[in-house]
Chains A and B, each alone.
Chain A
Amino acid sequence: MRLGLVIDLDVCVGCHACAVSCKQWNASGTTGPLTDYQPFGAEPSGVWFNRIRHFEVGTYPNNKTVNFPMSCMHCEDADCVTVCPTGASYKRAEDGIVLVDQDKCMGCNYCSWACPYGARELDRESGTMKKCTLCVDRIYDQAIPEAERQPSCVLTCPAHARMFGDFDDPNSEVSKVVREREGYVLMPELGYNPTNHYLPPRKHKPIPTDIGADKAGLAGKLKQFVNRMVKR
């Protein structure tokens, strides 16, 4: 098995609900707490597994805002695991999930240097490295209904921009949608072979706008006036 996420950039509305629900679930999960520093102070900061960035793609007027959620990609060739001197970081053979054993980590930060995607954040309170667990404490939980055995972010997303599944199975939802929508991975040139895929925005017909209409010069204005008079 190779478990991971697909993120649909076409429908993500950038509401940060996935990040908030991730924080809520994982604060009491296996790698919790996710410490906050000055949560109500002047410089609020803290540990998050999931962060949403916002990009502008293209130039005006052919531009578009793309909301960009990012968490651990559970890479196949994860250098974060290779470089870890203590063995705290590991990749599970059975499902490919990359985890940090909080009892072994010495907080050297080296793995965070090796991760290109900014998926690892040190918790200054516990002195250990923290990262997305793909809700490993939820997806196998027999006590909750089967439909809910998914990462918290996937269940929460109001736009259904997140999908969870097994990339090793060519007929899984995630494999199919990556095939059909030309899903891609980030920074393939670095060779980490990430599991998480992103679906590009669909190509829509441009929505006509009235840009330029009220910018008509004196001659244009005169013409509009005459037209209106003639119509009457």
Chain B
Amino acid sequence: MHPAFSVIFFTVLSGAGFGLFALIYLADLFKLGGGLPGAYVFWTGVLAIVMVGVGLLSSTFHLANPKNAWRAFTRWRTSWLSREGVLSVAFYPFALAYLALYWLELWPAARHFAGAIATLLAWLTIFSTAMIYASLKTIRHWNTPLVPAAYLSLGHFSGGMILLVVAMMAGVQALPFVLLSLFQLFVAAFVKAIYYYWIGRLGAGSTINTATGFTRAQVKLLDAGHTHGTFLTQEFGYIVPKLTAVSLRLISMLLAFAVPLVLLYFALEYHSLALGIAALVSVFAGLVAERWLFFAEARHVVNLYHGAQRC
């Protein structure tokens, strides 16, 4: 698949934004680290909402006809893309209400109610985003429950790293936040490791034989029937060179998980905010590489009509 930058940017940023919001609410609810000071909760919440908003806006950049984008809210009964839109917009009033009540220090019960609903919607939105990909029968690299698992765990891990840096800035007890991040780091790393293992061994699927119906002979494409590229070759024809894929996998796993793990250890040891921020930057660099690969490594079955033997 052709990796579109706007979609990479959108999924990484809004995933982290939703994850961050959910964790802020939970940290507030459980008074993690003795409870973050109010102003920190508020401004981190604002950051989460801005990240989600910027991500969603950037996702409209890959539309060829954005003037009809409002219609995407209409087919939520069948389409995960539509559900993502509806849920993410529904998230806003609850998230804003939560933050407003926090700012005004009013009605704690109502605040918690709004926060809980917004958190639930954040989870459902990340799930919908992942299901956009996971529901496609045409792309086996995506058609697996590991995709929503990865989106949810990576969104929470990257959002949690932001929260950790905020906790260090606020000067509250950092250990609970570090433990939370460590836990999420391991879950996300395991899910991604399983995913890479899985897509390396997909087993039987569609082949050039089932695509043409000639299942009792060897089939070979002689001519794809177009002079230059088509929409199909531009959108689906991209193939990552094997070496690039392997090295990027390594780089993304290192940057997203291994480097932050080491940095977190020293950040806690030396109470160093700078090391915490370095860990955060490393995570996001790793996630951009991870998301680029997620798209670039996916193989659409239409390639069987352009010469691929199996997909």
In whole angstroms, how far apart are the Cα atoms of A51 and B232 in the complex? 11
In whole angstroms, how far apart are the Cα atoms of A64 and B113 in the complex? 69
Selected A-B contacts with CB under 8 Å, 30 pairs: A19-B225, A44-B227, A45-B226, A53-B221, A53-B223, A55-B219, A55-B220, A56-B221, A57-B212, A57-B218, A58-B218, A79-B137, A82-B78, A86-B72, A108-B63, A110-B81, A110-B132, A113-B139, A113-B235, A116-B138, A116-B301, A122-B64, A124-B64, A127-B64, A186-B210, A186-B213, A187-B301, A189-B205, A189-B206, A189-B210
* Residues in A90-118 with C-beta less than 8 Å from chain B: 103-110, 112-118
* Residues in A52-70 with C-beta less than 8 Å from chain B: 52-59, 65-66, 68, 70
A149-161 to B contact mask, C-beta < 8 Å, 1/0: 0000000000000
With A44-B228, A55-B219, A116-B137 given, is the CB distance from A107 to B213 under 8 Å?
Answer: no
In whole angstroms, how far apart are the Cα atoms of A16 and B305 in the complex? 16
Contact B221–A55 (Cβ < 8 Å): yes
Query: With an 8 A cutoff between CB atoms, is A17 at the interface?
Result: no
Q: Which 3 residue pairs are nearest across A and B when measured between Cβ atoms?
A: A107-B64, A127-B65, A127-B64
Contact A190–B301 (Cβ < 8 Å): yes
Contact A85–B137 (Cβ < 8 Å): no
With A106-B65, A107-B65 given, is the CB distance from A57 to B219 under 8 Å?
Answer: yes
Query: CB < 8 Å: which of B67, B222, B235 contacts A56?
Result: B222
Residues of B within 8 A of A127 (CB): 63-65
Contact B68–A106 (Cβ < 8 Å): yes
Query: CB < 8 Å: which of A48, A56, A124, A186 contacts B211?
Result: A186
Query: With an 8 A cutoff between CB atoms, is A164 at the interface?
Result: no
Residues of A within 8 A of B231 (CB): 47, 112, 121-122
Contact A126–B65 (Cβ < 8 Å): yes
Residues of B within 8 A of A113 (CB): 136, 138-139, 235, 300
* Residues in B43-89 with C-beta less than 8 Å from chain A: 62-69, 71-75, 78-82, 85
Query: With an 8 A cutoff between CB atoms, is A88 at the interface?
Result: yes
Query: With an 8 A cutoff between CB atoms, is A200 at the interface?
Result: yes
In whole angstroms, how far apart are the Cα atoms of A121 and B236 in the complex? 12
Q: Taking the nearest CB of chain B, how far is it from the CB of A182, in angstroms?
A: 10
User: Which residue on B lies nearest to A110, using beta carbons?
Assistant: B81
Query: With an 8 A cutoff between CB atoms, is B241 at the interface?
Result: no
CB within 8 Å of B: which residues of A?
16, 19, 38, 43-45, 47-48, 51-59, 65-66, 68, 70, 79, 82-88, 103-110, 112-118, 121-122, 124, 126-128, 184-191, 198, 200
In whole angstroms, how far apart are the Cα atoms of A100 and B219 in the complex? 33
Contacts between the two chains (Cβ within 8 Å), count: 176
| B residues contacting the other copy or chain, number (CB 8 A) | 55
Query: CB < 8 Å: which of B73, B214, B302 contacts A66?
Result: B214
* Residues in B87-101 with C-beta less than 8 Å from chain A: none
Q: Taking the nearest CB of chain B, how far is it from the CB of A199, in angstroms?
A: 10
In whole angstroms, how far apart are the Cα atoms of A158 and B213 in the complex? 24
Query: With an 8 A cutoff between CB atoms, is B144 at the interface?
Result: no
In whole angstroms, how far apart are the Cα atoms of A196 and B132 in the complex? 27
Contact A83–B80 (Cβ < 8 Å): yes
Query: CB < 8 Å: which of B72, B213, B227, B229 contacts A200?
Result: B213
Q: Taking the nearest CB of chain B, how far is it from the CB of A94, in angstroms?
A: 20
Count chain A CB atoms within 10 A of each CB in B64, B205, B226, B300 and give the residue with the most. Answer: B64
Query: CB < 8 Å: which of A45, A68, A104, A116 contacts B228?
Result: A45
Count chain B CB atoms within 10 A of each CB in A45, A48, A185, A200 and give the residue with the most. Answer: A45
Query: With an 8 A cutoff between CB atoms, is B202 at the interface?
Result: no
Q: Taking the nearest CB of chain A, how far is it from the CB of B299, in angstroms?
A: 12
B197-210 to A contact mask, C-beta < 8 Å, 1/0: 00000000110101
With A45-B229, A54-B222, A108-B72 given, is the CB distance from A188 to B85 under 8 Å?
Answer: no
Contact B219–A56 (Cβ < 8 Å): yes
With A55-B222, A107-B65, A121-B230 given, is the CB distance from A86 to B71 under 8 Å?
Answer: yes
Residues of B within 8 A of A191 (CB): 137
Contact B214–A86 (Cβ < 8 Å): no
With A57-B214, A106-B71, A187-B211 given, is the CB distance from A51 to B226 under 8 Å?
Answer: yes
User: Which residue on A lies nearest to B298, using beta carbons?
Assistant: A113
Query: With an 8 A cutoff between CB atoms, is B224 at the interface?
Result: yes
With A45-B230, A115-B138 given, is the CB distance from A84 to B212 under 8 Å?
Answer: no
Residues of B within 8 A of A54 (CB): 221-223, 225
Contact B217–A58 (Cβ < 8 Å): yes
Contact B71–A104 (Cβ < 8 Å): yes
* Residues in B224-252 with C-beta less than 8 Å from chain A: 224-232, 235-236
Residues of A within 8 A of B301 (CB): 116, 187, 190
In whole angstroms, how far apart are the Cα atoms of A1 and B135 in the complex? 29
In whole angstroms, how far apart are the Cα atoms of A84 and B75 in the complex? 7
Residues of A within 8 A of B64 (CB): 106-109, 122, 124, 127-128
